[in-house]
A and B are shown apart, each in its own frame.
Chain A
Amino acid sequence: MENDKRASMDFENALINVDRIAAEDVIKKALHVGEGDVFRVIDTIISPALESIGSKWEAGDIALSQEYMASKITEELTNKMLPIESPQRSSRPSIGITTLKDQHMLGKQILKALISSNGFNLIDYGCMAIENIKEKLKTDNIEVLFVSTLMLNQALTVKEITEFIEQEKIGTKVIVGGAPFLFDEGLWKEVKASAMARTAVEGIHISQRLMGE
């Protein structure tokens, strides 16, 4: 237990310092100790480290670039241990992610990397018009839809999606994030989202909570 905690802290420090070699070294050792149990490494080393990095970003103690590099390195390491096509990856809940028509992709990329690093698969809809998103929600049985946007006008269009979900009784939970929601804490309610996530890690927690897991 104490060793796991120390390893997680070492992993976190390596990520914050963008030290790929040190980060990989921690994971290799942890895999060795855990006799190759990938999910044990995710649960005890990777997730707590990412959790702490998310909290530090929220508190302003680290910068977005560090969160991005941490998520990228972690995704690369996780994909080595647990390839995307691995049957061990969880496809539940069924997760989708989009920026709507916003061309700013960084928030989505961080979230996508973190979801993947936690052993989940997801569908990346990229930058997509509202009408297309509505179609996807009907055909793809998406349980949780993450919307990451930097632009206020795009954030406001989330309401079209949430009202469509309500009208069609699809049941998809919509979790929103990005600058407009951070600068106006009432905005997520205004657009009738299920929740707002201040960090990518918080987004993952909220999705698990909403899905009752």
Chain B
Amino acid sequence: MIKDEMTSMERVLTALGQEEPDRVPYFLLLTMHGAKELGMSIKEYFSRPENVVEGQIRMREKYGHDCYYPFYYASLETEAWGGSTIFYEDGPANAGAPVIKKIEDIESLEAPDVWDSPQLLKVLKSTEMLKDHAGEDVPIIGVAMSPFSVPPMQLGFDKYFDIMYEDRELFDKLMEVNTDFCIEWSNAQLEAGATAICYFDPVSSPTLIPRELYRETGYKIQKKVTSQLNGPVAVHLASGRALPIIDDIADAGASVVCTSVIDDLTEVKTACKGRMSVLGNLNGIEMRNWTAETTANTVREAIEKAAEGGGYILSDNHGEIPYQVPHEVLMGISDAVRKYGQYPIDR
């Protein structure tokens, strides 16, 4: 195979196999920008799977990145549990009032059936349509909230920390129900055509809980979920630090770790020791103000730090590029990857 004829799928799989493809693969994890692309509100955009598919296809045509990302918004999962979503004109949707009003309600909590949720079915429909469009040429990244990280939306962060520290019985019950749901939801996306699952687990980050507590909780849950998924898993800590728990994340079965700008990319790559690939870690918040020069230099620096030998996919550090990031910056990232990311990397 001639290297520069690689499809996105070949490029990504080669990188994940710890080898150097034609150039560094990059994932622009764009969600809300699809609404801009189609000239509609974020709420309207996510109301129809066809919108998301059209948005994803147009954005990839424009920026040439190496994946489709049919992720809607995090609280879509809690809608399946009976929750609500608050939409904004210029930012990611938030979960409305917690579904679990009293923590005692956890005792009788039952997971929703994925196939009975119109919201989840929209995502599955988007995934199927993207798969029909992409075939085997472009990876499709499905998203599932970790059973361990969805409770802040289910009952609020404060109550969640309260039971995590002081009512382990209720905590375990919640994890059991959430884990069943997460496995079913992730596998449904894989069946619909997702290539891999991005397992969002910010609560496991040492930014949010100490490693000792993570080892007793989030680590075991990730291990259980990962072992029952019918596809590879990328663990995303959504801007939280990853470095202190890299070995744990690898041991729990992840193929990719998505790391924060707080972590040094070289250190993360070294710590992965070829067991996992690294995705990250451009600062999405600063990105909206980047000049052309800053964009090019930042991309170049990330590539120089992590791309050698494969095992690296360039991306933002949060798993969703803010709505405020302009077209020029996204285009600048794409141009810079093509300029500085050709293998072998020229340092």
Q: A residues bordering B, Cβ < 8 Å? A: 18, 60, 62-66, 68-69, 72, 101-106, 109, 151-154, 156, 179-180, 183-184, 186-187
Q: Which residue of A lies closest to B153 (CB)?
A: A103
Query: How does the 8 Å CB contact mask read for B245-279 relative to A, with 1 for contact and 0 for none?
Result: 00000000000000001100000000000000000
CB distance from B148 to the nearest CB of A (A): 12
Segment touching A, from B56-64, B113-121, B171-179, B207-215: B207-215
A152 & B165 in contact (Cβ 8 Å cutoff): no
B285 & A152 in contact (Cβ 8 Å cutoff): yes
B312 proximal to A (CB < 8 A): no
A104 to B324 alpha-carbon distance, docked (Å): 20
B165 & A65 in contact (Cβ 8 Å cutoff): yes
User: A65 touches which one: B156, B164, B239, B288 (CB < 8 A)?
Assistant: B164
B94 proximal to A (CB < 8 A): yes
A153 & B157 in contact (Cβ 8 Å cutoff): no
Interface size on B, residues (CB 8 A): 36
Q: Which residue of A lies closest to B156 (CB)?
A: A105
A64 to B322 alpha-carbon distance, docked (Å): 24
Residues on B with C-beta less than 8 A from A18 are 165-166
CB distance from A114 to the nearest CB of B (A): 14
CB distance from A82 to the nearest CB of B (A): 22
A62 to B208 alpha-carbon distance, docked (Å): 9
Q: Which residue of A lies closest to B285 (CB)?
A: A183
Report the tally of A-B residue pairs with Cβ distances under 8 A: 80
Closest 8 CB pairs of A and B: A153-B91, A183-B285, A103-B94, A106-B157, A184-B285, A65-B209, A153-B90, A63-B210
Known contacts A60-B206, A65-B213, A103 near B285 by CB under 8 Å: no
Q: List 8 A-B contacts (CB under 8 A).
A: A60-B241, A62-B210, A63-B208, A103-B96, A151-B88, A151-B94, A153-B322, A183-B286
Q: Which residue of A lies closest to B97 (CB)?
A: A103
- B residues 314-328 near A (Cβ < 8 Å) are 322-324
Residues on A with C-beta less than 8 A from B96 are 103
- B residues 191-248 near A (Cβ < 8 Å) are 206-210, 213, 239, 241
CB distance from A83 to the nearest CB of B (A): 21
Q: Most chain-B Cβ atoms within 10 A of its Cβ — which of A65, A72, A105, A154? A: A65
B283 proximal to A (CB < 8 A): yes
A153 to B157 alpha-carbon distance, docked (Å): 21
A106 to B159 alpha-carbon distance, docked (Å): 10
User: A187 touches which one: B90, B210, B285 (CB < 8 A)?
Assistant: B285
A179 to B237 alpha-carbon distance, docked (Å): 14
Residues on B with C-beta less than 8 A from A69 are 161, 165
User: A105 touches which one: B157, B164, B208, B213 (CB < 8 A)?
Assistant: B157
B92 proximal to A (CB < 8 A): yes
A151 to B206 alpha-carbon distance, docked (Å): 20
Q: Which residue of B lies closest to A183 (CB)?
A: B285
Additional A-B contact list (7), CB under 8 Å, known A60-B206, A69-B165: A65-B161, A102-B94, A104-B94, A153-B91, A153-B324, A184-B285, A184-B286
B283 & A152 in contact (Cβ 8 Å cutoff): no
B88 & A153 in contact (Cβ 8 Å cutoff): yes
CB distance from B201 to the nearest CB of A (A): 14
Q: Which residue of A lies closest to B210 (CB)?
A: A63
A154 & B207 in contact (Cβ 8 Å cutoff): no
Residues on B with C-beta less than 8 A from A62 are 210
B95 proximal to A (CB < 8 A): yes
Residues on B with C-beta less than 8 A from A180 are 285
B292 proximal to A (CB < 8 A): no
Known contacts A104-B157, A105-B156, A151 near B92 by CB under 8 Å: yes
B111 proximal to A (CB < 8 A): no
A154 to B165 alpha-carbon distance, docked (Å): 31
A183 to B88 alpha-carbon distance, docked (Å): 21
Q: Which residue of A lies closest to B317 (CB)?
A: A183
- B residues 291-338 near A (Cβ < 8 Å) are 322-324
Known contacts A66-B210, A106-B157, A184 near B91 by CB under 8 Å: no
Residues on A with C-beta less than 8 A from B323 are 153
Residues on A with C-beta less than 8 A from B241 are 60
Known contacts A153-B88, A153-B90, A184-B283, A68 near B158 by CB under 8 Å: yes
CB distance from A62 to the nearest CB of B (A): 7
A156 to B209 alpha-carbon distance, docked (Å): 28
B40 proximal to A (CB < 8 A): no
B86 proximal to A (CB < 8 A): yes
Residues on B with C-beta less than 8 A from A103 are 86, 94-96
A187 to B324 alpha-carbon distance, docked (Å): 13
Residues on B with C-beta less than 8 A from A106 are 152, 157-158
Residues on B with C-beta less than 8 A from A63 are 206-210, 213
A179 to B215 alpha-carbon distance, docked (Å): 25
A62 to B162 alpha-carbon distance, docked (Å): 17
User: B324 touches which one: A72, A156, A183 (CB < 8 A)?
Assistant: A156
Residues on B with C-beta less than 8 A from A66 are 209-210
Residues on B with C-beta less than 8 A from A72 are 158, 162
Q: Which residue of B lies closest to A60 (CB)?
A: B241
A105 & B158 in contact (Cβ 8 Å cutoff): yes
CB distance from A178 to the nearest CB of B (A): 11
Residues on B with C-beta less than 8 A from A65 are 161, 164-165, 208-210, 213
